Amino acid sequence: METTMKAGLNVRRFKYVKKLVIDPRLEEVNSALAELIDVSTKHPKEKFASSADQLLLYQSLSYMLNAKKILDCGTFTGLSALSFALGCADDGHVYTIDVNKEFVDVGREYWDKAGVAGKITSILKPADEVVKEMAQKPEHLGSFDIAYLDVPKHLYEPVYEYIVPLLRPRGLLLVDNIFMSYGVLEDEANYDPRDTAVLDMAKFNKRISADERMMHNFIDIGDGLAIVVKK
Ligand SMILES: C[S@@+](CC[C@H](N)C(=O)[O-])C[C@H]1O[C@@H](n2cnc3c(N)ncnc32)[C@H](O)[C@@H]1O
């Protein structure tokens, strides 16, 4: 199958990883994920899609934790939701949040094809509202094994504050786009004041790295990924 793929920022590294890991794993894992990657990278908003190496990492982490409850903030075409669902426990479940029904509907066919549609609940509401409501329900507090933060950047901080109590101790938080096309690596004095995504991301990165409730790692994959463990 001809699979078009986002390379993230580091194209040389991606080509190497694609040959040895991504291509064989997409063959082996599930052709539905490969097909959805193809469809998503041809979508007019293809920039929204997580890169293929990230998606396979999410599947592995979900598998490693035998995750039972996963919160996926920012569904787009359902790539991250599908990856988590493919890796999670047999009785695991993914709650995936987005405000755009048209985007989410693209993914449904592939969730079905992969045989995991029953493991995914799509919630069509703003992520900050959903996590706030969840945090008011005792059954959700401390119950999520994994949360993925991949919504507009101004929402990262408010959504994060509710995600922390929703995660179980040793639960995993994944945050996408932490390098913001390497924009955050510039000297702060050189930040473009009109580039609100870089400003929001830089502020958020400082916030989480100073949060002593969590153990942080910043990884150079895709557009930068924080892998954060709740203590
Ligand atoms: C970067 S994309 C998500 C990509 C997806 N996680 C993946 O792995 O391919 C961000 C998504 O956030 C959605 N979004 C925008 N505003 C939102 C809001 N207030 N609450 C939830 N989702 C929102 C957009 O519709 C878009 O689909």
Structural domain of 97: 61-230
pLDDT tens track for 153-210: 999 999 999 999 999 999 999 999 999 999 999 999 999 999 999 999 999 999 999 9
In a domain, 112, yes or no: yes
The pLDDT of residue 4 is: 64
Going by alpha carbons, the residue nearest to atom 26 of ligand 1 is 76
* pTM for the predicted model, two decimal places: 0.95
Residue 97 Cβ inside 6 Å of ligand 1? The answer reads yes
What is the distance in A from the centroid of ligand 1 to the CA of 151? Answer: 4
In a domain, 132, yes or no: yes
Over residues 70-99, mean pLDDT:
98
Going by alpha carbons, the residue nearest to atom 1 of ligand 1 is 48
What is the distance in A from the centroid of ligand 1 to the CA of 231? Answer: 27
Residue 48 Cβ inside 6 Å of ligand 1? The answer reads yes
**In whole numbers, what is the pLDDT of the chain averaged over residues?**
94
Residue 79 Cβ inside 6 Å of ligand 1? The answer reads yes
State how far the alpha carbon of 35 is from the alpha carbons of 19, 26, 115, 226, in Å: 17, 9, 14, 27
pLDDT band at 3; cut points 50, 70, 90? low
- Which ligand 1 atom is at minimum distance from the Cα of 47? 1
Residue 158 Cβ inside 6 Å of ligand 1? The answer reads no
In a domain, 40, yes or no: no
In a domain, 15, yes or no: no
Residue 151 Cβ inside 6 Å of ligand 1? The answer reads yes
In a domain, 44, yes or no: no
In a domain, 220, yes or no: yes
pLDDT tens track for 12-52: 888 899 999 999 999 876 799 999 999 999 999 999 999 99
Per the structure, how many domains does the chain have?
1
Residue 205 Cβ inside 6 Å of ligand 1? The answer reads no
Going by alpha carbons, the residue nearest to atom 25 of ligand 1 is 100
In a domain, 189, yes or no: yes
To test the pocket of ligand 1, the residue of 46, 75, 223 to mutate (highest count of ligand atoms within 8 Å of its CB) is 75
- Which ligand 1 atom is at minimum distance from the Cα of 40? 9
In a domain, 94, yes or no: yes
Domain CATH for 206: 3.40.50.150
The pLDDT of residue 10 is: 78
The pLDDT of residue 5 is: 72
